[in-house]
Structure 1
């Protein structure tokens, strides 16, 4: 009776297949359906690719799952049966659990790319169904379930113990290395290689700690999943996945060796070129070699530009040989980096170009005493983006190079040479003071001041004959341009002392009315001390000579 029922079921499936042929004719002309794999108890049974009776592979898999879920518990004792059917030129096999239909496999389900015929596909599917049938029976076995629970509980307890031991052990190791690192850091004022190794060991131990925890978690999950029949295939897939990833990494490393070797050769050759350029620029900077258009002040900046250019060319040549250089990730990063440079490079390029103008104009360099946009001080750094100046209050002032090139630069050290750099100060004295005496007093005050050079000698100009007073300006050379402000302060003090000693009033008088007597200097007082008859009317030291 069971055999007759199976035959009738086969004819019924063939009739369904024949009746759905006309309905599916229009769909067959369209693109083929997506293949869907039927999975039972986390196990692959068969991949369905063809339509049966108008049912797509998705519908066939869904109906098979519905039938499996509707099976009664006593059906587990029924055997797996197969019944062949024929509809036109298409052959098929119906899989049954006893007399209960499960799903059908047809010739259209054969993978055209695999070297497999329909008979082999049916045999493979039947073997997988037998395996699922056996696992289904084991799932409902209470001893098997208790055994799996015992294994899972034992593995969980062992996992917790191992994680605790690994955490404590690695924590102690990290603490020991951190203590060793701190001791070495306190012992040396510089970075010693032992301190560097200690820091590296701390980082490696921290990473290794997480790696051990992840490895234990992976092993625990695989063992627990393998303890139960339903999840055993997942555990098997986890193991296969790990082996596959390790194999993939190993194969990728081996495949990338030629590319990495090429990259290393290109970078090594680039380093050789950079070292040769460094030797050349060192010789230019020290004066052992002279070339046109290369000045000692600009050699440092030129060296950085050439070095950057050579490295950019080397990286551009080596880039295509990097592993994964043609992947979408590298392409996406390149696009993102280019977008960032494009959006944020306007101000940066302006500052870089301004820095090049500052360097190659040779208007200032490190150690010069300058006045830039009202800021006086000593230049401590001339970088690509900004210039740093330290003023008399020991404040470090950073001036962007775009501001530097847009402002007048007063460099008091540039032309100091052997004659020093000029320092000047002004006083206004009434017409009742002999100008020869004022000249002599100013020159005497300059001679008393520490830091003022005796050669060239100080001199005085009468800059203006105003309505109420005469404007005198004293010029003197100083030794160190960086001492300009303290020397000027000392010079002011010396001028006050000299004028007070000789009773000459430092004041700019203003009159509200005409004085009763002419404000003049009698001829007998023209050479009042410390002036002498040999005092020249016009200084003999020109400004160009002093500078």
Structure 2
């Protein structure tokens, strides 16, 4: 009821606005006319009127310019397409429409006041009242209409008198009151209709809170995730609200058209409003229908592009799973190659479909494309370099995801290799992102790529410097034993030691061992160093600075106490004699 009262109130306010804005008074007829209107009505005497060559008068109506309608209260009376005495057809129509409107508003004019006259010496007939000329009927007008001047003048006279009679009848007091009553009823009907539409859509709205149970009863075993359910609910709400809005706008359109038509003083605006809406709707529908062939081509291009990309994915999936083998094409190339080709196919599809898009050739589209191109060229040089470097790194097979590498002094496992950056996870659980352009220009040490059936592990090495007083064979055996105690070190191939340097005070022993798990390489190194210390201590080999041996006499050994004999005593200084 509140909604009904609201719309009734709005309707009454609308009526009052009409009553305040419409002029009920009688117009004041201006006897004087401007020069163009006087020329259009009076014309030039035949004695001075220049003769129009017959070749200038079109023989076919299709050769004439556009015809302009003369109207009264929005209703067309007749059309004029011929100029007269230098006055265009459009100017003639404007003058006739204005004078006919003034005549219709002059309720003191009677039908017998409108007569047909032909001044002497003039080839033109006129319709006029007792006070002023209304319009002219030229020989060209008659020729275009296919009638004589007298017949055309009588036709114009009948049409004019009937139109004025209807115009005045619509503006009579009884008709105005009747139209106001219809407006009130229309306002009440609009309010009631809007209320019923609102109630109707409230009733047909699905109880969205019970969506899962409602669908579950229809389709057994069907379940929806939260995001899927929210998307479906949003679509249902949008569809219902759009239908309700469309119903509201349709009702309001018919309401406005009706009240403009039923109210006498706004009757002419009714046709204009309806024509405005109809023309725009026709433009939209016409544009849509005209765009259907392009839309069909776009849909066809989208479908073809989609299935080509799907076919490309299937082919490279078979290559990745070794279902298809191409000599010289590695398995790890399959996925990136599939992505690159899919992107190229997509770009090609967009380029082929672009000419069919609306506004493709418009200046705005060209300007936006140019602006994006300039931005891309100025700001993407680094990105393009990284993308090219990323592609080169893929096909050079410098590393793969999961490999243990060293790049720019950073050691870790490759966890991601994109077109722009390479990400490495260090043993400290840090993720380091390195631009591909920098990776391509750096030395990459890959500790994993060499592991295969023939080479089951990667070699790790560590160097120990010991004095010359230790037997080298014993040191070799001790270091190899320390390596075999380390968890990730392989027994086959066996560890080995190389004497890499014979210095002035010490010998450098480099232990080499094979490991299969490169992901825990830092932990393996730490465990290996611990085992070297333990094994050396167990066999009595001191790991110390060899320079300390020059002061060995009188110093306690550096071997931990638990590895020494129970009766061990630090040696004293040896003194041979005193002079």
Q: What's the TM-score, normalizing by structure 1?
A: 0.68
Change (3 A) 1:249 1:72: closer
Alpha-carbon offset, residue 111 of structure 1: 12
Distance 1:490 1:128 in 2: 114
The answer to whether residue 368 in structure 2 is matched with residue 336 in structure 1 is yes
SS in 2 for 1:365: coil
Distance 2:385 2:510 in 1: 41
Decide which of 434, 438, 446 is 1:403's aligned counterpart: 438
SS in 2 for 1:379: strand
Q: How does 1:453-472 map to 2 (within 5 A)?
A: 453-461=490-498
Match of 1:18 in 2: 44
Distance 1:452 1:58 in 2: 102
Q: Deviations over 1:264-309 (max 9, x none)?
A: 5565555555554444333322223322443222122333343444
Distance 1:450 1:16 in 2: 120
Q: Deviations over 1:106-146 (max 9, x none)?
A: 5667998xx87797987886677557534642564334334
Distance 1:125 1:433 in 2: 137
Match of 2:470 in 1: 434
Q: How does 1:516-531 map to 2 (within 5 A)?
A: none
Match of 1:147 in 2: 178
Distance 2:521 2:431 in 1: 18
Q: Deviations over 1:349-375 (max 9, x none)?
A: 434323321222222233323334455
Alpha-carbon offset, residue 71 of structure 1: 6.5
User: 1:462·1:472 contact (CA, 8 Å) conserved in 2?
Assistant: yes
SS in 1 for 2:114: strand
The answer to whether residue 258 in structure 2 is matched with residue 232 in structure 1 is no
Distance 1:422 1:350 in 2: 33
The answer to whether residue 484 in structure 2 is matched with residue 451 in structure 1 is no
Q: How does 1:99-118 map to 2 (within 5 A)?
A: 99-104=131-136, 106=138
Match of 1:81 in 2: 114
Match of 1:534 in 2: none
Distance 1:128 1:409 in 2: 97
**Once superposed, what is the RMSD of the aligned Cα atoms?**
5.2
Distance 2:420 2:44 in 1: 82
Change (3 A) 1:448 1:280: same
List gaps (5 residues or longer) in structure 1. Answer: 6-10, 23-27, 519-524, 530-547
**Which stretch shifts more, 283-292 or 389-398?**
389-398
Match of 1:475 in 2: 512
User: 2:74·2:271 contact (CA, 8 Å) conserved in 1?
Assistant: no
Q: Deviations over 1:219-269 (max 9, x none)?
A: 332233223234334434555566666666666666666666566556555
Change (3 A) 1:268 1:464: same
Decide which of 499, 517, 521 is 1:484's aligned counterpart: 521
Change (3 A) 1:293 1:232: farther
SS in 2 for 1:353: helix
Match of 1:362 in 2: 397
User: 1:223·1:235 contact (CA, 8 Å) conserved in 2?
Assistant: yes
Distance 1:141 1:469 in 2: 129
**Which stretch shifts more, 178-187 or 151-160?**
178-187
User: 2:104·2:168 contact (CA, 8 Å) conserved in 1?
Assistant: no
Distance 2:435 2:251 in 1: 56
Match of 1:543 in 2: none
Match of 2:571 in 1: none
User: 1:439·1:460 contact (CA, 8 Å) conserved in 2?
Assistant: yes
Q: Deviations over 1:133-174 (max 9, x none)?
A: 346425643343343334334434443454455456656766
Q: How does 1:225-264 map to 2 (within 5 A)?
A: 225-239=260-274
Match of 2:14 in 1: none
SS in 2 for 1:482: coil
The answer to whether residue 212 in structure 2 is matched with residue 177 in structure 1 is no
SS in 1 for 2:445: strand
**Greater C-alpha Rg:** 2
User: 1:75·1:97 contact (CA, 8 Å) conserved in 2?
Assistant: no
The answer to whether residue 379 in structure 2 is matched with residue 353 in structure 1 is no
SS in 1 for 2:438: helix
Distance 2:448 2:399 in 1: 9
The answer to whether residue 250 in structure 2 is matched with residue 215 in structure 1 is yes
Match of 2:13 in 1: none
SS in 1 for 2:406: strand
Count residues in correspondence.
494
SS in 2 for 1:476: strand
Q: How does 1:258-337 map to 2 (within 5 A)?
A: 268=303, 273-313=308-348, 322=356, 333=365, 336-337=368-369
Distance 1:71 1:132 in 2: 11
Alpha-carbon offset, residue 498 of structure 1: 4.5
Change (3 A) 1:265 1:106: same
Q: Deviations over 1:13-63 (max 9, x none)?
A: 5785228979xxxxx9xxx99987665544555666665555556765665
Distance 2:295 2:184 in 1: 48
